Amino acid sequence: MDTISLENRTRSAALFEEAKNYFPGGVNSPVRAFKSVYGPPLFIKEGQGCRITDEDDHTYIDFCCSWGPLILGHNNAKVRDLVTETVAKGTSFGTPTRLGNELGKLIVNNNRYIDKIRFVSSGTEAVMSALRLARGITGKSKVIKFEGCYHGHVDSLLVKAGSGLATFGESTSAGIPRAFAEETIVLPLDDRKLLEETLQKYSDDIACIIVEPVPANNGLLLQDPSFLECLRLKCYKYGVLLIFDEVISGFRVGFEGAAGYYGIQPDIITYGKIIGGGMPVGAYGGSHEVMSHISPDGPVYQAGTLSANPVAMAAGYAALKQLLEPGFYEGLEAKTKRLADRLQAFALRHDLPMHVQQIASIFWLAFTRDRVVRADQIDAASMEHFKNLHRELLRRGVYLGPSGYEVGFVSAAHTEQDLDEAASIMEKCLHMVFKTSK
């Protein structure tokens, strides 16, 4: 394969310079800005199967998959056909539609962990709504979250821990009043003693605990299932609601998400990404009792003009129907594990400081020899390895999200031949990166 130099990304570079005139930093989401890696961001004009093509006509095997939702790959024919058919009838009505019913029925009838759902337009909106619901049900205001878990750009959750082990959050973004951040208590993942102490002290004020059951926004910080079971038991004990943020893990680790994967019943679950089939959709759900608090049935108000937009419902329905096909998740996990095992074996064979973490069709390259389970175990200096790796992968036609803290996704469109090709390229690039760094 011919290598792609930074100089050969001239159209993407020109478009990025133009974009700076219109958008802050030239992007509409900061993760797209390539701040942590080399060169201008790629401007993509087309995606087919597991590959994307940029404006300079370079093609890449894609492991970003639009940050996770494209579990079927790019431009899936069944999704495209139903979306096209739906668009021909109109794009938005501000009314209920049959497609909304069909997608809602498909999800609820195949998920033992929710009785009802409410569609929204993003994962952040789903989390925001879930927090309001938890506060409305309990009459309490504070939230426990965990270091290394990201829950969208909700004001009270854009926080980090302070100097103590258990502290009220400090804002990580300008524009968030201190009082908002102080409604959040930040704990380390899987510190059960500290969790117990915090609940004993503050449970009269805590509405909910929110966690990514598969933390996949700050590396892939896979937790021992007993920690999630501990959260469930502590929430029962102290009268606190448990929210699983499954915006990434929902429909990715299985149709019932991490709740089904681990067999744990949360009080509220948030979804996003995959249920939109590539369109902007989110949702939150729970039991009949929990969801009865949502307006118009109950006093917790939440609304959205584009919620359950028919085009998004069509894309989601066409996508999720395919996920229910027998063997879908088993085959996808087997392919991903094969890729992860091959890369891990390469690292061991060449004594590279790298550990490949994987669950279902999600993987992450951690530049350490040890399994990483907490955010504070990630050495920021190791991200220089990822920066160099990302550059070499792009030169050879493999695309990962432009940050070493981001995970990779395998789709149904990745064949074993595609994955073998990508693995060979990744091995070559890893060899180059670590040979240069010595």
Strand runs (DSSP E) across 212-327, as ranges? 241-246, 268-271, 282-286
CA distance 254 to 148: 22
Q: Is 273 a catalytic residue?
A: yes
Which of 113, 150, 271, 284 is an active site residue? 150
Place of tokens 């584009």: 306
Residue 202: strand, helix, or coil: helix
Residue 59: count of CB within 10 angstroms of its CB = 16
Closest to 64 (Cα-Cα) out of 417, 411, 420 = 411
Which of 140, 142, 145, 273 is an active site residue? 273
**What would the two tokens of residue 435 be?**
């040979």
Burial class from Cβ neighbours inside 10 Å (0-12, 13-18, 19+) for residue 437 reads exposed
Q: Is 150 a catalytic residue?
A: yes
Which of 245, 284, 329, 399 is an active site residue? 245
User: Could you tell me the CA-to-CA distances from 261 to 225, 228, 254, 270, 361 in Å, in that order?
Assistant: 10, 12, 7, 15, 13
Whether the CB-CB separation of 199 and 232 falls below 8 Å is answered with: no
- 390-413 per-residue burial string, b: 16 or more CB within 10 A, e: under 16: bbbbbbbbbbbbbbbbbbbbbbbb
**Beta 170-171 vs 282-286: how paired, if at all?**
unpaired
Q: Is 420 a catalytic residue?
A: no
Active site residues per annotation? 150, 245, 273
